[in-house]
A and B are shown apart, each in its own frame.
Chain A
Amino acid sequence: MTVFYLVAFLSVFFALMTIFTKNPVHSVLYLVVTFFTFTIHYILLNAQFLAVVNFIVYMGAIMVLFLFVLMLLNLNKDTEPMKSNLVKMMGVVAGCCLVVVVFGAFRVFDLSNPLVVKDPNIGLVKNLGKVLFKEFLLPFELSSILLLTAMIGAILLAKKETRKV
C-alpha cells in the first residue's frame, strides 16, 4: 500500500520537474522517469502487458523521437523564451481550478472503497489477447490503418521539399 503512495509521489514530482525545467533535454529525461513510474504503477495493478507496452512504446519509441527532434533541431540549450510571470501564474491558477473542480465532482461519487483485484489474470497477455482478437478485432485492424497513415504523413511532412513552389 505504501509503495503506491511512494511511486505516486515520485510521479508527481518528476512530472512537475518535466514542465518546470528550462532545458528541453532535461525535460525529456524527467519525462522518461515519469513514464517509468507509470510502468511501476501498471505492475502494481498486475497489468503486465500494459507495463511492458508502456515501457517499450513510451520509454523506447516516443522518447527517442522527442530526443532526436530536440537534438536534430539543436535545441539542447536553455534559450527558450519564457512566458511572462503573469501568464505563468494564470496558467498555474487555471490548472489548480481544474483540480478543484474535478475533486468536487469526485466527492459526489464517494468512491472510498478499496481497490480489490477481482481477477488477477486480467492483465496477462493471454487474457488480453483473447479479448483483443475477439471483441476488438475491427478496431485493432483500423488502428493498423491509423498507424500506416501516421507513418506516411510523418514522412511526407518531414521530407525536405526539393522544388520550390
Chain B
Amino acid sequence: METAIQQLQGVPINHYLIFCSVIFAIGVIGVLIRRNVIIMMMSIELMLNAVNLLLAAFSVQHGDASGQVFVFFIMALAAAEVAVGLAIIIMVYRNTKSVDIESLHKLRW
C-alpha cells in the first residue's frame, strides 16, 4: 500500500477534476444518444461513479473522512435506484413489449 501512495503523489488534484468531469460528460452523452432505457440507466451509473471518485479524491486531499462516508451513502442510494428502476423497466416492457424510450410517449397526458 505504501507503493500505491507513492504512485499517487504528484497527480495534481485538477487532473482528477478533469478526469471525473469527462466521465460525467460521457454519462450525459450516453443518456442523450441512446434509446434503450437500460443503457440510459447504465449511463446514470457512470455519472454517479464519476461523482463518487471525485468525492473520494477530495476527501483524501483534505484529510477528512466525511467524503468517503458520503460515497458510501451514494452507493447505497445507487443500489436502491437500480433496483427500483429495473423493476419499472420490467413493468414497462410487460406493457409495451419494448425498452425503447420512445415507447413511453403515451405517458404524455
Contacts and interface: CB of A to CB of B under 8 A. Distances in A.
Interface of A: 1, 3-5, 8, 11-12, 15-16, 18-19, 24, 27-28, 31, 34-35, 38, 41-50, 53-54, 57-58, 61-62, 65-66, 69-70, 72-73, 75, 80-83, 87-88, 90-92, 94-96, 98-99, 102-103, 106, 109, 111-120, 122-123, 127-128, 131-132, 135-136, 139, 143, 146-147, 149-151, 153-158, 160
A44 B60 CA distance: 11
B43 A19 contact: yes
B46 A115 contact: no
Dominant secondary structure of chain A at its interface with chain B: helix
A150 B84 contact: yes
A151 B4 contact: no
Interface residues of B, number: 77
A66 B5 CA distance: 34
Dominant secondary structure of chain B at its interface with chain A: helix
A123 B53 CA distance: 13
B86 A128 contact: no
B102 to A, nearest CB: 8
* CB-CB nearest 7 A-B residue pairs: A91-B32, A150-B80, A19-B30, A118-B63, A95-B29, A157-B87, A91-B33
Interface in B78-95: 78-84, 86-91, 93-94
A96 B75 contact: no
A112 B76 contact: no
Contacts of A90: 32
B49 A99 contact: no
Nearest to A111: B14
B16 A115 contact: yes
A89 B12 CA distance: 32
Interface string B9-42: 1111111111101111111111011111011011
Interface of B: 1, 4-5, 7-19, 21-30, 32-36, 38-39, 41-43, 45-46, 49, 52-53, 56-57, 59-66, 68-69, 71-73, 75-84, 86-91, 93-94, 99-100, 102
Contact of B100 (A47, A65, A81, A157): A81
A45 B8 contact: yes
A113 B91 CA distance: 50
B20 to A, nearest CB: 9
